[in-house]
Amino acid sequence: MDSNSTTNFFNLSRSFTVSDIIVIGAYFLMNVAVGIWSSCRVSRNTLSGYFLAGRDMAWWPIGASLFASSEGSGLFIGLAGTGAAGGIAVAGFEWNATYVLLALAWVFVPVYISSGIVTMPEYLGRRFGGERIRMYLSALSLLLSVFTKISTDLYSGALFIQVCLGWNLYLSTVLMLVVTALYTIAGGLAAVIYTDTLQTFIMIIGAIILTITAFNKIGGYNNLEGAYQKAIPSKIIPNTTCHLPRADAMHLFRDPVEGDLPWPGMTLGLTILATWYWCTDQVIVQRSLSAKNLSHAKGASILASYLKMLPMIFIILPGMISRALYPDSVGCVDPEECVKVCGAEVGCSNIAFPKLVIDLMPSGLRGLMIAVMMAALMSSLTSIFNSSSTLFTMDIWKKYRRAATEKELLLVGRIVTVILVVISVVWIPILQSANSGQLYVYIQSVTSYLAPPVTAIFVLAVFWKRTNEAGAFWGLMVGLVVGLARMILEFAYPPPRCGVFDPRPAILSSIHYLHFAIILCALTAGVVVVISLITTPPLEEQIRNLTWWTLSQENVDREIPLQKVSSLSDHTQQRTEGADPQRRRKYVRGAAFCSSRANGAAAAPQDIIHSTRENPFWSRFCCVNAIILMCINIFLYAYFA
């Protein structure tokens, strides 16, 4: 074992200094200051102000927030760990986002804007009518948020801080949760987006410094592949090859059958998962809906796509360097040895990133990297807290409290955030016993079992006018049953450790989870198509302004049929039943103000729903930048394929 690993890894906090603490303290103060400042810029006492930042956000903070929301501490730990274990192929998870982010801004956001929605389940409620699809998606989104996103980020962030600071796991996690929840509860989406912008800046600066230091240590990029291939731990398991670095470590596309991340799954299967995450998940879409106009939403997607190219250099390659420098700890395969190093039998690749920070960063900069991880954790948690409270308030509470005032809804949104914080703290003991070596794969595989049906429903809802409520509902149910069956099998037959016979059935060992995502999405789409064709088609009025093909360019103010309307029809609360009927008109595409404008009254800022019309110059400017972005992305894929 290398000299730095002879001691238990969790005792490395001895090298932490006062200057590091000062840097971390300064970061916390700056974060709170930005949160307070941003909270004061937008009215927090209206639904639109709290949940959509007044729909007045510029492209650059939204783009930074899209990036920061996706780059949680789980991704820092997971990407670096997977890079250490298998090479650069995991970069596909980041680069694939380019095309889906462009689809979000150019295809999905115009439909969402025309629908006048705040939440994704609300869109399905308006598109199909009824409540059962909307309630199912709300419940599924909340469960995925609490038990995958929050749990992953909390475990990874707490592991990092426990390693580096030596703090108690509960103390470090509760401190971050409290600070995060405070400005999320107080400031709403505006505070989240502006603090995310700060987090993005800190994350990039810290990652650049660490990457430069790591490459200097190993002798530059040209030496990385050779050093990585020699990173074999001294203690191996006889008659196995699991201790050997992958021969295809520097290749993005892997064997379609035997590869750890097969290229068909990394293209089509990953696109299905990415469409769910970037185009239908409340956390992401909510940011784009807060944009001043469609051009700002497009600019945000382009900026986020450029930023998503950076983790390859600043997270994945440093993870590979960490294994090359510390093969006995980061690359360990012997269960007894791994337990000594990181407390997990299955391997210690998850410590690749914190190991670099502890051993390579000088005093002060080590504190900066702690701040980077805190930034990653807090930015993702704020996003999840704000979006989950929006889901619960608008899609669940509003259904049962139709006469709720706007003040009540805002209070419920803040209370839900507190409840999520409490659930997160209670979840910590479960996270401590989690299989940390399988954390990143676990999250991706769970997403592969639950997300593809949702992707299929949204794509068909937007692009196929014939899709109806019955087809969508039963498609979701069939997809849920099949996905849960696979997930239960995964838990019943976990992947065997190195050198142990694989007793799993062929459906697990032969079908990669990314390939399963393709099958599940196709199955769901098939059920939706068949049932929609044999049942009553939706009326023309029911799909007007709710699909890609039924958007009109005129500034119109039409009624959406009552069966189409969710309980949230206007952001301003309909407090009296006898109000002017004009007040009950719904948001539609191109309408600059709510129907109260028709009565000559100026609409409040929260009533604004922006048209999908754009300034021709900025529209062309965004399109040219999108083409340049795709060319860069294609070049990177081709170079590393």
Exposed, middle or buried: residue 154 (CB in 10 Å: 0-12, 13-18, 19+)? buried
Distances (CA, A) of 277 to 41, 126, 286, 402, 455: 29, 21, 12, 30, 9
3 state SS of 262: strand
- The number of helices, as runs of H, and strands, as runs of E, in the chain is 31, 0
Give the pLDDT confidence score for residue 630 in this predicted structure. 96
Name which residue leads in pLDDT, 637 or 440.
637
How far is 84 from 249, CA to CA, in rounded Å? 9
**264 with 511: CB under 8 angstroms?**
no
What six digits make up the tokens of 112?
Answer: 């969402």
3-state secondary structure string, 325-385? HCHHHHCCCCHHHHHHHHCCCCCCHHHHHHHHHHHHCCCCHHHHHHHHHHHHHHHHHHHHH
How far from the centroid of its chain's Cα atoms is residue 637's Cα?
22
Q: Which two tokens stand for residue 168?
A: 């108690």
Is the pLDDT higher at 57 or at 454?
454
- Note the pLDDT of residue 503: 77
User: Is 187 or 362 the better-scoring residue by pLDDT?
Assistant: 362
| Distance (Å, whole) CA 322 – CA 344 | 18
Q: What is the pLDDT of residue 184?
A: 56
β-pair partners for 57: 291
Half-sphere CA count of 140, side-chain side, radius 13 A? 25
Q: What's the pLDDT at 559?
A: 38
Could you please report the per-residue DSSP string of 500-568?
S-----HHHHTS-HHHHHHHHHHHHHHHHHHHHHHSPPPPHHHHTTTSGGG--SS---PPPPGGG--S-
Q: Which residues pair with 291 in a beta bridge?
A: 57
Task: Look up residue 236 and give its amino acid.
Answer: I
What's the length of the chain? 641
CA triple 517-302-55, angle to 5 deg: 95
Give phi and psi for 240, each to the nearest 5. -130, 165
- Check residue 537 and give its pLDDT: 92
pLDDT at 10 over 50: no
Give the integer Cα–Cα distance in Å for 46 and 52.
Answer: 10
User: Do 122 and 133 touch, CB atoms closer than 8 A?
Assistant: no
Facing residues of 362 across strands?
none
pLDDT digits (tens, 9 = 90+) for 139-150: 888 877 776 777
pLDDT by residue (tens digit) across 294-328? 899 999 999 999 999 999 998 999 999 999 999 88
Torsion of CA 118, 119, 121, 123, to 10 degrees: 40
Reduced to 3 DSSP states, what percent helix, strand and coil does the chain have, rounded to the nearest 5? 70, 0, 25
Radius of gyration of the chain (CA): 25
User: Does residue 632 surpass a pLDDT of 90?
Assistant: yes
**What are the φ/ψ torsions at residue 44 (nearest 5 degrees)?**
-100, 5
pLDDT in tens, 592-629: 323 333 333 333 333 334 566 778 898 899 999 999 99
Question: Among 39-53, 210-224, 440-454, 565-579, where is mean pLDDT lowest?
Answer: 565-579
Reference 235, options 243, 223, 227; nearest CA is: 243
Residue 556 and residue 477: Cα distance in Å, rounded? 36
Partnered with residue 440 across adjacent β-strands are none
Instruction: Give the number of other CB atoms < 10 A from CB of residue 519.
Output: 15
Structure tokens at 41: 């810029």
Highest mean pLDDT out of 232-241, 492-501, 536-545:
536-545
Q: Is 590 left (phi over 0), alpha (psi -120 to 50) or beta?
A: left
What would the pLDDT profile of 536-571 be if each residue is shown by its tens digit?
A: 999 888 888 899 998 754 433 443 343 333 333 333
Assess contact for 79 and 293: CB atoms under 8 A. Answer: no
User: What is the rounded end-to-end Cα distance, in angstroms, of the chain?
Assistant: 34
Which one-letter DSSP state was computed for residue 246? P
Cα 115 from Cα 54, distance rounded (Å): 17
Cα dihedral 82, 84, 86, 91 sign? positive
Q: Is the pLDDT of residue 78 over 50?
A: yes
E strand or H helix at 454, and its extent? helix 452-463
> Phi then psi for 262, rounded to 5 degrees?
-60, 145
Contacts of 418 (CB under 8 A, 6+ apart): 181, 185
| Cβ pair 88, 325 in contact under 8 A | no
Backbone angles phi, psi at 559, to 5 degrees: -80, 135
CB 584 within 8 A of CB 569: yes
Q: Around Cβ 216, how many Cβ atoms within 10 Å?
A: 10
CA distance 101 to 300: 9
Q: What DSSP state is assigned to residue 71? A: S
Quick one: tokens of 399? 């259904």
Mean pLDDT of the chain: 76
Mean local confidence (pLDDT), 165-189? 64
User: Distance (Å, rounded) from C-alpha 607 to C-alpha 596?
Assistant: 9
Helix (H, G, I), strand (E, B) or coil at 57: strand
Q: Where does the pLDDT of residue 39 fall: very low under 50, low under 70, confident under 90, or very high at 90 and above?
A: low
Residue 3 pLDDT exceeds 50 = no
Q: Distance between CA atoms of 255 and 267, rounded to whole angstroms? A: 13
